[in-house]
Amino acid sequence: MAIWKEQTIPRKDSGSMADPSPRSADSFASGASAYDSAPRGRAGGGKESVIASGLTIEGKIEGAGHVRMAGRFKGDVNVDGDLTIEPGAKITGSVRAATVTVGGELEGNIEAASRVELLDTGVLNGDLKAGSLTVAAGSRMRGNVSFGWDEAVTPQARLRMETDAAS
């Protein structure tokens, strides 16, 4: 005799760990889970990993793919894809990514990004080196900035910028 009602969901492919349906950070915050989700509106494909708003993690993120941070993370982030810091999220540590979008708070340096965007809710306490920088009214930053210089852009980021410009 079961205390709860079991629900079975038919699956087409039980061998796949990835959920092909796109999910927002809000759906993860409300208790939904997946190992990764498909990115929305990104050229080049790839997968996006989400750290939900209710999570606090300490460690290191490294690898390929896109990362969307809605929770709190203490440690360095080094990804070959894009990093998005949602409003209300916080990262304490250095960041290396192709594209960095800051809507939450980052306490640390951004290095070797091809593009950095500070949204109106974004806060950056640290130095920034990027190929280009977009700053929205209302964002805040404390630190040194270098952008538009060749040494700020990694060879992978330069290739990506050239590919995007050719499209």
Distance CA 33, CA 163 (A): 34
Has residue 50 got a pLDDT over 70? yes
**Pairwise pLDDT comparison (31 vs 4), residue with the higher score:** 4
74-124 tens-digit pLDDT: 999 999 999 999 999 999 999 999 999 999 999 999 997 899 999 999 999
Which pLDDT value is given to residue 44?
44
Residue 72 within any structural domain of the chain: yes
Residue 132 within any structural domain of the chain: yes
Mean pLDDT of 120-145: 95
Residue 161 within any structural domain of the chain: yes
The count of structural domains within the chain is: 1
Coil vs helix vs strand at 118: strand
Which pLDDT value is given to residue 137?
96
Coil vs helix vs strand at 49: strand
Which pLDDT value is given to residue 112?
77
**Whole-number CA gyration radius for the chain:** 18
Cβ atoms of residues 50 and 30 within 8 Å? no
Alpha helices per DSSP H over 44-122: none
Which pLDDT value is given to residue 13?
46
**Pairwise pLDDT comparison (1 vs 104), residue with the higher score:** 104
Residue 49 within any structural domain of the chain: yes
pTM recorded for the entire structure: 0.65
136's tokens: 């929205």
25-44 tens-digit pLDDT: 444 343 333 333 333 444 44
67's tokens: 């990362």
Residue 92 within any structural domain of the chain: yes
Instruction: Supply the DSSP symbol for 54.
Output: T
Residue 5 within any structural domain of the chain: no
Residue 117 within any structural domain of the chain: yes
Give me the count of residues in the chain.
167
Which pLDDT value is given to residue 144?
95
Mean pLDDT of 46-68: 91
Above pLDDT 70, what percent of the chain? 62
Q: Give me the domain span that covers residue 46.
A: 25-166
pLDDT band at 156 (very low <50, low <70, confident <90, very high): low
